[in-house]
């Protein structure tokens, strides 16, 4: 998420009432999670296990809960609770603004686009040309939808990321200030839910087709011409490359990559990154030809035991 204008390190420190290490006029351009940070971004880290990863990332401002040696060319924001202060920054730069109409006056809708009754379209949404948005669809703030997109009834674009910190008094939600971006020629079935990014974008690539009842987690990127069947659940921060097929009830863990033209058979659990151009099945996921060979071998065990007894 980029800020509307550049800020200084000191001004950001003042917003969250924390110490800083570095030039007071050090330029701050935005804030992002570690997998999408760029120079000028703030990234937060609150666990020693991830200190080095954050300090060595592309981010040039690290919001951290310990005074450490500041890497050359970077700056630190030293906070007793980086998670809380990252939320403060999201609230400041991307505050929730309640809707007063079913279709926001700030929304832009293209030519020959059909909006059926009972659709909700939030602030600053952009919808392209020749789209069809069916009844009872909810499109939250800041979503970007391309041309020739169809979204069927009951789908929700832009709900909060499922991202929580476990505190003694309960779960604390990391607030979402990112977007959902739907490229051209995408079809989205009925009852799908596509969560917005925490600070970046959740993206559905050009020409991809989603069946009914699919969940897409925050900051996930789905490539071009993917085919995703009903009841698939895709976790956050997943990268699905072009022309991947996911059959019914496939589930994934977060932070993995599924390679180009991979095919995942139904009810599989994708627990790790996998290469493209192959067909997979099972939980944990395994290439189909290996899985079938393994099953055939297992079937021979009774015969082998029988022979041993004789």
Burial 65-97 (b: 16+ CB within 10 A, else e): beebebeeebbbbbbebbbbbbbbbbeebbeee
Catalytic residue set: 218
C-alpha 101/C-alpha 92 separation (Å) is 23
According to DSSP, residue 103 is labeled: B
According to DSSP, residue 264 is labeled: E
Q: Where in 120-196 does DSSP place strands (E)?
A: 120-121, 126-127, 132-133, 138-139, 144-145, 150-151, 156-159, 164-167, 170-173, 179-182, 187-188, 193-195
Which of 148, 142, 123, 141 has the alpha carbon at shortest distance from 133? 148
For residue 6, what are the contacts with CB-CB under 8 A and spacing of at least 6? 27, 28, 29, 40
Residue 186 contacts residue 224 (beta carbons within 8 Å): no
């Amino acid at each position: 998420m980029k800020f509307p204008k550049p800020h200084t390190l000191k001004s950001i420190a003042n917003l969250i009432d924390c110490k800083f290490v570095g030039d007071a006029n050090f330029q701050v351009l935005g804030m992002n999670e570690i997998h999408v940070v760029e120079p000028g971004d703030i990234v937060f880290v609150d666990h020693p296990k991830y200190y080095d990863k954050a300090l060595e990332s592309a981010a040039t401002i690290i919001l951290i809960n310990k005074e450490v040696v500041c890497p050359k060319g970077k700056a630190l924001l030293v906070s007793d609770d980086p998670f809380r202060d990252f939320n403060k920054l999201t609230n400041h730069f991307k505050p929730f603004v309640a809707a007063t109409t079913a279709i926001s006056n700030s929304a832009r809708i293209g030519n020959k686009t059909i909006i059926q009754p009972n659709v909700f379209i939030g602030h600053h949404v952009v919808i392209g040309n020749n789209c069809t948005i069916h009844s009872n669809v909810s499109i939250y703030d800041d979503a970007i939808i391309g041309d020739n997109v169809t979204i069927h009834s009951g789908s929700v674009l832009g709900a909060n990321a499922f991202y929580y910190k476990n505190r003694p008094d309960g779960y604390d939600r990391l607030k979402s200030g990112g977007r959902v971006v739907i490229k051209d020629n995408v079809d989205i079935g009925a009852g799908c839910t596509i969560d917005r990014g925490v600070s970046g974008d959740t993206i559905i690539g050009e020409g991809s087709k989603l069946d009914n009842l699919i969940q897409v987690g925050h900051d996930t990127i789905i490539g071009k011409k993917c085919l995703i069947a009903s009841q698939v659940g895709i976790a956050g921060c997943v990268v699905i490359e072009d022309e991947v097929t996911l059959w019914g009830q496939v589930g994934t863990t977060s932070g993995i990559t599924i390679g180009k033209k991979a095919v995942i058979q139904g009810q599989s659990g994708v627990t790790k990154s996998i290469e493209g151009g192959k067909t997979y099945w099972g939980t944990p996921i395994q290439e189909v030809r290996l899985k079938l060979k393994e099953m055939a071998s297992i079937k021979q065990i009774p015969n082998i035991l029988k022979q041993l007894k004789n």
